[in-house]
């Protein structure tokens, strides 16, 4: 059935119970739950998946509903970027994530408790690795700060070369 890469993990829908599984490595697939509960049918499907507004959504059959869930906290910009140079800024400030495009905030997470997430890992930082492909283009002035920028600082940094 449907599959998608979401928040760093591979998810896949199943037949006959419309259950969604997450691949956790080493041949381990773990259930994250069922998405169709239609009674008196043999086959229930989680047949297609998409990521929108930071949530993984799955179409279901035979109920014909769309179910979605969140795994962790994330923000996404669900529109096509205009051609040419774009100034992209991601900010984590306490229990909130914000995404800016050309100095304008385009997405923000709800409030969350940062202590609930263990972000330690040994993987190297990768910039430009997308959900389906690698970034093709040029990047200029990649910066990483040890603190959250204010909205005013985001706007001010747009003009620096």
Mark which of 69, 102, 118 sits at the end of a domain: 69
pLDDT at 116: 81
Mean pLDDT in order along the chain per 10 residues (161 residues): 85 94 92 93 93 87 91 81 90 90 91 81 77 75 90 84 50
50 occurs within a structural domain:
yes
The burial class, CB within 10 Å (0-12 / 13-18 / 19+), for 151 is middle
Query: Residue 19 sits in which domain range?
Result: 3-69
For residues 41 and 94, state if they share a domain: no
pLDDT at 158: 81
Number of domains, the chain:
2
pLDDT at 132: 58
For residues 150 and 94, state if they share a domain: yes
Cβ atoms of 135 and 80 within 8 Å: the answer is no
48 occurs within a structural domain:
yes
78 occurs within a structural domain:
no
For residues 96 and 41, state if they share a domain: no
């Amino acid at each position: 059935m449907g599959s998608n890469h979401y928040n760093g993990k591979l998810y896949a829908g199943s037949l006959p119970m419309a259950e969604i599984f997450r691949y956790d490595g080493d041949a381990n697939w773990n259930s994250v739950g069922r998405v169709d509960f239609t009674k008196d049918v043999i086959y229930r499907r989680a047949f297609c998946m998409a990521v929108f507004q930071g949530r993984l959504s799955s179409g279901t059959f035979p109920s014909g509903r769309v179910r979605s869930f969140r795994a962790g906290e994330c923000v996404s910009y669900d529109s096509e970027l205009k051609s040419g140079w774009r100034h992209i800024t991601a900010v984590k400030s306490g229990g909130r994530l914000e995404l800016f495009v050309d100095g304008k905030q385009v997405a923000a997470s709800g409030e969350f408790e940062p202590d609930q997430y263990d972000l330690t890992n040994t993987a190297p930082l990768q910039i430009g690795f997308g959900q389906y492909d690698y970034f093709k283009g040029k990047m200029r002035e990649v910066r990483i700060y040890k603190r959250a920028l204010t909205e005013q600082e985001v706007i001010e940094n747009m003009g620096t070369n």
